[in-house]
Amino acid sequence: MPRQVRRSIAAIEKLRAIRPGFGAAGTLATPMNQLCQTLRRQSKAVGGLHDTWERLAPPELRALCRIRGLARRTITLLVRDSSACFEADRLLRAGLGDELCRACGAAWIRMIVDSTI
């Protein structure tokens, strides 16, 4: 056997020794089940948030604001302009914010002024 081939085989054997086997990888069942549980929990939270928003927010506020989403236990509320931000802040402090946070398990509400609403 030529010398270069022996070196190549030795290099392959070194790599084979450190390569994880297929048994170490496990199956996808456990991570997929965990992902499904997380998605179910988030779906319930967002659904509760949307239902609570539709039920409690006054129509004039819903015309000026919309819920962008829920991420990292933070509700993001998009508002049209600074006057809408003031109105939303007033209503959120009056109790609407607590109801929204309880409905979806959020810790706080962040408002972003977005003129494209």
pLDDT tens-place string over residues 89-112:
888 888 888 888 887 777 888 877
Position 26 scores a pLDDT of: 63
Give mean pLDDT, residues 28-56.
Answer: 80
Position 116 scores a pLDDT of: 67
Pick the CATH number of 38-117 from 3.30.300, 3.10.620, 1.10.10, 3.80.30: 3.30.300
Residue 71 binned pLDDT confidence (cut-offs 50, 70, 90): confident
Distance CA 115, CA 117 (A): 6
Distance CA 14, CA 90 (A): 67
Q: The dihedral of CA 48, 51, 57, 62: what is its sign?
A: positive
Give mean pLDDT, residues 70-81.
Answer: 84
Distance CA 105, CA 101 (A): 6
Domain ranges for the chain: 38-117
Beta-ladder partners of 78: 66, 112
Strand ranges in the chain using DSSP code E only, listed in sequence order: 65-71, 74-79, 108-113
Entry pTM: 0.56
